[in-house]
Structure 1
Amino acid sequence: MKIAQIAPLAESVPPKLYGGTERIVSYLTEELVAQGHDVTLFASADSVSDATLVPCSDVALRLNPAVQDQLPHQLVMLEEIRRRAHEFDVLHFHIDLLHFPLIRDFADRTLTTLHGRLDLPDLRPFYKTFADIPLVSISNDQRRPMPPVNWAGTVYHGIPADLLPFTAKPQGNYLAFLGRISPEKRPDRAIKIAAKLGITLKIAAKIDNADKAYWEAVIKPMVESHSNVEFIGEINEQQKAAFLGNAGALLFPIDWPEPFGLVMIEAMACGTPVIAFGCGSVPEVIDCGVSGIVVDSVTEAVENVEWALRLDRRKVRATFEKRFTAERMARDYLNIYRKLPGVRTKAAPRRRSNGQAVGLQVVA
């Protein structure tokens, strides 16, 4: 199939540091290419991909100090997509909602994955207006606040099976927090859990400009007042394997309707169990008692840390391999692409060099 993947321009694909959506776009794009599809990636020029790259900004917009308003750059990308839309069997958007008016005439061969929260009141009239556009959710819970829309499916995120190595025996006696310093991610809960247990907590997290006040007023004083808490800052992909793999468990103490929670499956890939608060997608992602523990309070988390640390790390990894690989994610999306009413390309199984049937191959 000829597939267009349309990524946000805020970060490169894959991102240099933090950037969950762009990371998923990268994993999906590379897996589709590996399965023999003709993939074109619309993204920033500093992106790296085996797909055909259409550069839509010189660098990721967040990294360009000259960019004061991202909207004009995004509209330039949409114009390029409008001009070339006829070239593709499927156009897969990962950019929220700006493209909806543009795709009216060919919406039946598009797919839009919604990567963010959908409980914001301003979104409801928008999605009621564009109720025919094919959408994908990244968890079933993500759908709850939405009006009736055209759901094409739910596709859980996946990462390459060989991206993060399994660690059977972690070298560090610590709990990990990885992600972003923000009120909804609740790093304060992670600190309270570690403080009650007297165990080391390592925090590897990005601080956005919007969250600097929260960091200064709430989290930084807590870090400075607990000797067992270490703030590392933002880490890259190479550092992530050691950080997650050497942790006894990952703390995911969220307090918001998390659409998916990529860090949970990254920890699982390392064999590291997850202690997560049962918000949003968490009960769908965590197999409680196998890949982690789902809790409802700091007290309950403290009471279950010992249990989590005793979970079989091989079973944690096996759960990841069964449910959350990029190959499975790409297979799910391909099944949805084929069912889109505007997609008329017939497809047959392709084969890797080892003879295993994977993906689809366009045939006349």
Structure 2
Amino acid sequence: MKVLMDAGPWLPVPPHGYGGVENVVATLTTQLQQRGHQVVLASVADSALPVHERVAAFSSGQFTRLAGPYPEVVGLAHAHEQVVVDTVRRHARGGHPFDLVHTHVEVVGPAVLGALGAAAPPVLATLHWDLRRNASFYETFDGDGRVFFAGVSASQLARAPERLRRQALGAVPLAVPPSRHRQPATAAERRPEVVVLARISPLKGTAVAVRSARAAGLPVVLAGPVAGRPDEATLRADLADPRTGLQGDRDVRYFLDEVAPLLDGIHARWIGTVTGQAKDDLLRHARAALFPIDWDEPGGTAVCEALTAGTPVVAMARGCLPSLVEDGVTGLLAEDEAGFGDALRRLEDIDPAACMAAADERFAPAVMAEAYERLYGEVVSRTGGPAGPQPTTSAATESPW
């Protein structure tokens, strides 16, 4: 099958650090190509993932611009989708149209592609977000039998508007690459600290994590960006520049007012975005990964990463978290801040080997790719195309387009 993978203009694929959607796209695209499918990636020009072709509207990721004034950022996704549409038309004119477009761009992706009608290939749009924030779109959008949706968890789709649920083909849980280590770190190898691997935001409950860890006598490390800024130096520099629009950003105010006062650089510290080997090492050797979310998390990529590393998870029982974490086996779930603090005192109840084993079974890249292959086949079948995906045994044996 020939797929146009629409990752969006926000971050490179794979991302250099933070970037849940882009990590998922990188993992899925790699698997699809290994299974013989042909993939064109619509991302930003500095994406490094090997693909047959890459198209882009921007030279680099536009994520940090999202904190700017609305009139200055509203067209970013549309500029990207214009390149997607041009790519669809170019390949069709060349006699080798796409079998399917898989878009990960919120709202604008399905809206623009759906507006093309029969002139566009069939479309599958993955829903990575809280659907309430664009409820007016999802309550009214009609894909007209050409655009279909996939959720990233059953709980996410259960909260979706009825019209959207009728166009959804199912939920595909996220996946992450397997750990380079086949065994979790031993107790002797683990550091005393717990880690929060997420952007710093009230939705992620960052302040709850710090307060709970310190009350439990555990050092805590915050590893993630603030409003897209990867470290303290960048944040301070951009805060000093009024053109960035950061001064009124909600996540920035939350960090400055509620999180930063709790940090002492020893027992509680922010290290910014971590990538590659540094992130692997941080997760593998932490006593636990904390997710005190204050919203109905739809997907939870970082949860999968922690369990894949063999690191127990402590999380609020909201959104998809109860479907990712088996309470008492791969982690501990709490209902409120008091319960979260209590859970941090029971980390020894969780066997890291059970965490890694469950992740290998449930969150392996091949599991996600197989699920998407089934959905691709259903989309193509419903739109009157071929019966389904027909991968070859090796991408190298594909004939050129």
In the alignment, the residues of structure 2 paired with residue 325 and residue 16 of structure 1 have an alpha-carbon distance, to the nearest angstrom, of 21
In the alignment, the residues of structure 2 paired with residue 63 and residue 217 of structure 1 have an alpha-carbon distance, to the nearest angstrom, of 21
In the alignment, the residues of structure 1 paired with residue 136 and residue 181 of structure 2 have an alpha-carbon distance, to the nearest angstrom, of 38
Partner of 2:2: 2
Single out whichever of 226-235 and 11-20 deviates more from structure 2: 226-235
Single out whichever of 53-62 and 342-351 deviates more from structure 2: 342-351
Q: 1:198: how far off? A: 1.3
CA 53–247 in structure 1, closer or farther in 2 if over 3 Å, else same = same
- 2:55 is aligned with 1:59: no
Preserved contact between residue 275 and residue 301 of structure 1 (Cα < 8 Å):
yes
Partner of 1:157: 174
Partner of 1:254: 293
Name which of 131, 136, 142 aligns with 1:118: 131
Partner of 2:98: 88
Partner of 2:118: 105
Question: What do residues 337-362 of structure 1 show as CA deviations (whole Å, max 9, x unaligned)?
Answer: 11111231555575579xxxxxxx99
Partner of 1:295: 334
Partner of 2:11: 11
Which letter does structure 2 place at the counterpart of 1:200? P
Which letter does structure 2 place at the counterpart of 1:129? F
How is 1:133-212 mapped onto 2 (pairs within 5 angstroms)? 133-143=147-157, 144-149=159-164, 150-162=167-179, 166-169=183-186, 170-208=189-227, 209=246, 210=249, 211-212=251-252
SS in 1 for 2:281: helix
In the alignment, the residues of structure 1 paired with residue 198 and residue 182 of structure 2 have an alpha-carbon distance, to the nearest angstrom, of 19
In the alignment, the residues of structure 2 paired with residue 277 and residue 33 of structure 1 have an alpha-carbon distance, to the nearest angstrom, of 36
Q: 1:64: how far off? A: 8.5
CA 166–351 in structure 1, closer or farther in 2 if over 3 Å, else same = farther
Partner of 2:262: 222
Partner of 1:233: 272
CA 336–106 in structure 1, closer or farther in 2 if over 3 Å, else same = farther
Partner of 2:239: none
Partner of 1:130: 142
CA 236–98 in structure 1, closer or farther in 2 if over 3 Å, else same = same
- 2:331 is aligned with 1:331: no
Q: 1:251: how far off? A: 0.8
In the alignment, the residues of structure 2 paired with residue 176 and residue 98 of structure 1 have an alpha-carbon distance, to the nearest angstrom, of 34
Partner of 2:241: none
Preserved contact between residue 78 and residue 108 of structure 2 (Cα < 8 Å):
no
Which letter does structure 1 place at the counterpart of 2:370? R
CA 285–107 in structure 1, closer or farther in 2 if over 3 Å, else same = farther
Q: How big is the alpha-carbon RMSD for the aligned residues of Structure 1 and Structure 2? A: 2.5
Q: 1:127: how far off? A: 3.9
CA 215–34 in structure 1, closer or farther in 2 if over 3 Å, else same = same
SS in 1 for 2:132: coil
Preserved contact between residue 107 and residue 137 of structure 2 (Cα < 8 Å):
no
- Structure 2 gap ranges (5+): 228-245
When normalised by structure 2's length, the TM-score is 0.81
Q: 1:298: how far off? A: 2.0
- Structure 1 gap ranges (5+): 354-360
CA 346–281 in structure 1, closer or farther in 2 if over 3 Å, else same = closer
Partner of 1:344: 386
When normalised by structure 1's length, the TM-score is 0.89
CA 90–125 in structure 1, closer or farther in 2 if over 3 Å, else same = closer
Residues matched between the structures, number? 352
SS in 2 for 1:4: strand
Which letter does structure 1 place at the counterpart of 2:354? K
Q: Which has the higher helix share?
A: 2
Question: What do residues 191-232 of structure 1 show as CA deviations (whole Å, max 9, x unaligned)?
Answer: 1111211111111121004311111111101113x8521221
SS in 1 for 2:342: helix
Partner of 1:357: none
Partner of 2:243: none
CA 156–280 in structure 1, closer or farther in 2 if over 3 Å, else same = same
SS in 2 for 1:48: coil
Q: 1:312: how far off? A: 1.3
Preserved contact between residue 35 and residue 391 of structure 2 (Cα < 8 Å):
no
Which letter does structure 1 place at the counterpart of 2:152? I
Q: 1:306: how far off? A: 3.6
Question: What do residues 59-104 of structure 1 show as CA deviations (whole Å, max 9, x unaligned)?
Answer: 2224789x95424532432332442464111110011121324333
SS in 2 for 1:251: strand
Which letter does structure 1 place at the counterpart of 2:4? A
Preserved contact between residue 378 and residue 388 of structure 2 (Cα < 8 Å):
no
CA 166–124 in structure 1, closer or farther in 2 if over 3 Å, else same = farther
Preserved contact between residue 194 and residue 213 of structure 2 (Cα < 8 Å):
yes
Identity of matched residues, %: 26
